[in-house]
Every structure is written in C-alpha cells, then in structure tokens.
Amino acid sequence: MSAAPLRQRPAWAALETHHRELQGRHLRELFAEDPGRGERLTAEAVGVFLDYSKNRVTDATMRLLLRLAVESDLRERIDAMFRGEKINVSEQRAVLHVALRAPRGATVLVDGRNVVPDVHAVLDKMSGFADQVRAGAWTGHTGKRIRSVINIGIGGSDLGPVMAYEALKHYSDRSLRFRFVSNVDGTDFAEAVQGLDPAETLFIVSSKTFTTLETMTNAHTARDWLLAGLQGAESAIAQHFVAVSTNAKAVAGFGIDPANMFGFWDWVGGRYSMDSAIGLSTMLAIGPTHFREMLDGFHQMDEHFRTAPFDRNLPVLLGLLAIWYTDFFGAQTVAVLPYEQYLKRFPAYLQQLTMESNGKRVTLDGTPVDYVTGPIYWGEPGTNGQHSFYQLIHQGTRLIPCDFLAFGHSLNPLGRHHDLLLANVFAQTEALAFGKTAEQVKAEGTPEWLVPHRVFEGNRPSNTLLLDRLTPAALGKLVALYEHSVFTQGTIWSIDSFDQWGVELGKVLAQRIVPELEDAAEPTLDHDSSTNSLIRRYRKLKGSA
Ligand code: F6P
C-alpha cells in the first residue's frame, strides 16, 4: 500500500499547525526553557556525532517529523531499496549502490541473482591493477613506469573521483600525480596535460554510458595527444588507456582492450558511483586497503540507516530537518560547511548528489507536486567562507540552514591551528543561533545610529557533525549519510530520486546546434529569434581573426 499524497498525510497538517506556533519562537527561548536540549537533541552512530539542538525544533517537532517519515512509508521504501526492487520507476531500475560496499559473502539480489560476487570480482580486478601501477610493474609503451593518472569523466564519473582524491590526499602515493578532465572546454584538457610526459601517463576513461559528449570528446583528444607524443604507435593505447563503464561494446569500439575495462551495472546511478569502479583513480591514489576501508565506512552507515530506529537514525534526522526548513520555513538552500581543508570539493560533490536526485517536480506516478522539493545545496570550507558569504547567513534576509562538519583531530597537526579551526566552528553555530541583541550591542557603548547595523538577529539553524578524524572510512560514512538523507527526503516527497531526465533536453538541443556552428555554408536557422541571432553572432566572431 503506498503512502497518501503528501499534503493528505495527517502529520503534514499537524506540522503546518505546529509551524505556525513555533515560527515566532527564538532559539534563545528554546534553550532557556529547555537547557537540556543541547545534550538531548543529538544522535551518535558509527563514529558520527550529530548535534541538531540548534535547529528551530522542539521534541514535538521531531515527533511530528518522525511521524511524517512513518506515514511516508520510509521503512518500506528503505527495505525495498535494499531488496533490489526497481524503485527507480522512470528508468525501471533497481537502486543498489549499497551493494557496492556489501562485504564479501553478503547477498544482495537483483532479479533473483546475487550481485555481491560480481562487485567483489571487479574490486579484486581493480586491486590487482592498482597494485601493479603503484609498484611500477605496469609500464607505459616505452617501458617507463606510470607517473601521472588522468581521469576523464563528467558528473558522477568526475565529481566523486575528484572529491575523494582531494579528501584522501593525505593517504595518497605522492609519487603519482592525479589530474581530472571533465569539461568539453578544451582548456580543461590542455591544462591537465601541461608538463606531462605521454610515456608516463595513464588515462582512465570513466563513463557509465560511454556515450557522453564531453567524455568521448576528451577521450579522443587524449588519444591524439598520446599518439602524437609516442610517434603514432597505435599499439600504445592498451598500456595507456583503461576504461570504467557499463558499456563494453562502446569501450571496445574506442580501441580499449576489454581486458582493461572495469565494469559496473545499471543499478548504480552516476552520482552514487564513487565507490564502484568509477573510484579506480581513488584506489590508484590511496591503494586497495584504504579503498576497502572507505567501503567499510559506507557499509557501516548503510547498516545504521537500514536498522536504526528513526529517532536515532542520522540520515533520517538530517533528511527530516531539510524537509522542515524547505517545506515549512520556505528555505531555499542548505549550506554545507566543512571545517576540513581536505573536504574542499565535498560541497560540489553534494550538489550533484542532492540536486540531480531531488530536483524533481512530479511524483512517482507523474502527478505534479503541490509542495516544494529539493533545496539548493552549496558551500565552501571554513574558515574561508566566514570571510566571504557568511555575512549574508548572519545578517541577510534569508533563512539558510547550515551543516557544519568538523573533526576532533587534524591530519596535519600544526601548533594551535586545529583549536583555532574548531573554535570557529563552535563560535559560528553559537553566533547563528543566539545572535546579539540591540541591548547587548548598546551595552558595549555602540552609538545609537550604529546599533541596528551591529545587531545579530540569531535564530539561524545549524547542525554540527563531529567525527574523530578524516579517514577513508569517515569519508565513506559521510557520503553515505548524505546519500541516505537524500533518499529520506525523496521518499517524503514521493519523487524518483534516481533518474535525471532534466539533463536531456539541453544535450539534445546542443547536438542540433553543433552543425549550425560548424557548417561552412550559412545555415538556415529556425530557433527563436534570440538563439538564431546568438548563433549568427558566434559564427561572425569565429570567422574574424
Ligand atoms: O549529467 C547527466 C549524467 O548522466 C549524470 O547523471 C552522470 O553522472 C553524467 O551524466 C556522466 O554520465 P556517464 O558516466 O555516462 O558519462
């Protein structure tokens, strides 16, 4: 039995009423009335501590949100995902990124077949390859060892690998250089190969479909660059190109030896694939052992999500709080603010995960939604952001719920740096929640005219996530935490979080425009007047010296 439309679920109406009562309340009052909330409104699992007490919620809010989760069949939906049901309805696919990190010996069925042995066969093949490259046993065409690895991919075939490389650089083999090419803008490729010796360079062409315009264009340019550098030796391709894909035929068509292809499956969405073979560059950087530690971190969070009661379930709590602000407070965004320099690409990674997943306007059965879905996720590492956009979060007119991410230990303990960093995390959440009243500002001797400028309204909500240190396992836990928070949100909105039809139209139109830009003869254009005139102007610019 499927859940009633969202607005007809009893908890939704109760939350609307409750929101009217709570929206005028300040976090200052909520903490004053209930000093224990700082300890109580927290949850901890698998080494991840969440303090959600600085949110505009009470115990009653949480009860209602949890009831909404139950009325939205969240439990049934989680079980359906783990059972391999085709919950990606618009593409008729199972959604089983959780199988990518299932331990050897586990059973996850897709159409009655256990896919876990397949997952581990690929992981073993990746490990063998990574060991060879890292040991210098895999050499290039001229016999030189591989020193540079370039991942060519885009979207999920790029953002995860880039983010994980940056996040886990501390654990990486520094004698290998890693670069990433994604954009069809030739500058991306040109800069990535700057100063590299083709004889020492390995390309990983990562593409689930092996048809993506950007990736195939870059892969062909890479092929030309390599062959030019190695005096046209076609036979060099085998040692300098490997592929990660679900499309063996297209890989072979490109000229990559199928033996050098690392596969995955249609039940892995691009934005959920960094722990599949798409993570080959990550494994080359940090080695198979660390990669498996990362998978174990993912798996620990998966098990927590699958089994923990909702009121102590970290992804559920995070997802429900996002619903609370998006649908009841009208917040348009969520800021993710890692106080860990190695996580500098984490917000960018989360943008695809969250927005390609939940940027949807119809429900699973195709009915237009009558509520707001997917918030905009964004962010930058702290403390840098504090000297940039935090002004707007503190004193602007918008409500921006924030997730602060911090670690108990630095991977680079230097003097007082880490205490200073963490002092800023705690200070920011405190300032956002409690602000500074006009009375407090006046008491400091501020002239009357300046007081309004210096008041901090406060009542700005935040979560704080605290972990011990950024290990491969910790990264896996964090990514899985957000994956399942996205799932929780998508379930409540009754949308398909696993398709991405919204990227199609632009791709198709671009294919139509390409010949209109490239044809020598003036094309007959039948777009709108703006597009026609932009195309004509570009053709003129292109023709001019
Ligand atoms: O932008 C759409 C998309 O399909 C993403 O979902 C995906 O991660 C990306 O393109 C890359 O696709 P592929 O791995 O097939 O090249």
User: Could you list the mean pLDDT of each consecutive 10-residue stretch along the chain, which spans 545 residues?
Assistant: 91 98 98 98 98 98 98 98 97 98 97 97 98 98 97 98 98 98 98 98 97 97 97 90 95 92 97 98 98 98 98 99 98 98 98 98 98 98 97 98 98 98 98 98 98 98 98 99 98 98 95 96 97 98 87
Nearest alpha carbon to residue 158 among 102, 215, 116? 215
Catalytic: 436?
no
Question: Is residue 68 within 8 Å of 320, Cβ to Cβ?
Answer: yes
| Candidates 293, 356, 483, 516; catalytic one | 356
> Which of 31, 84, 2 has its CA nearest to residue 459?
31
- Supply 347's token pair: 């917000």
Separation of alpha carbons 463 and 442, rounded Å: 30
Ligand 1 proximity of 462 Cβ (cutoff 6 Å): no
Find, among 197, 193, 247, the residue nearest to 218 by Cα: 193
Q: Are 336 and 486 in contact (CB under 8 A)?
A: no
* Catalytic (active site) residue 356: yes
Nearest ligand 1 atom, CA 271? 8
The pLDDT assigned to 232 comes to 79
Ligand 1 centre to CA of 208 (Å) is: 7
Name the active-site residue from 39, 387, 453, 540.
Answer: 387
User: Alpha-carbon distance 50 to 38, whole Å?
Assistant: 11
Cα 72 to the chain's mean position, in Å? 24
CA-closest residue to ligand 1 atom 16: 207
Ligand 1 atom closest to 269 (CA):
6
The CA 215 to ligand 1 mean position distance, Å, reads 10
Residue showing tokens 């050897």: 104
Q: To which residue do tokens 């798409």 refer?
A: 278
Coil, strand or helix at 302:
helix
Residue 412 is given by DSSP the state S
Give the pLDDT confidence score for residue 97 in this predicted structure: 98
Query: Does the annotation mark 290 as catalytic?
Result: no
What integer pLDDT is reported at residue 153 of this predicted model?
98
d(CA 492, CA 5) in angstroms, rounded, equals 10
Taking the C-alpha atoms of residue 43 and residue 51, their distance in angstroms, rounded to an integer, is 7
Distance from the CA of 396 to the center of ligand 1, in angstroms? 36
* Nearest residue (CA) to ligand 1, atom 2: 503
Residues 6+ apart with CB under 8 A from 131: 137, 287, 288
Q: Give the predicted TM-score (pTM) of the model.
A: 0.98
* The pLDDT value given to residue 209: 94
Tell me how far the alpha carbon of residue 36 lies from the centroid of ligand 1, in angstroms: 46
Q: Please report the pLDDT score of residue 1 as a whole number.
A: 53
Q: List C-alpha distances in Å: 292 to 128, 147, 167, 178, 238.
A: 13, 23, 15, 20, 27
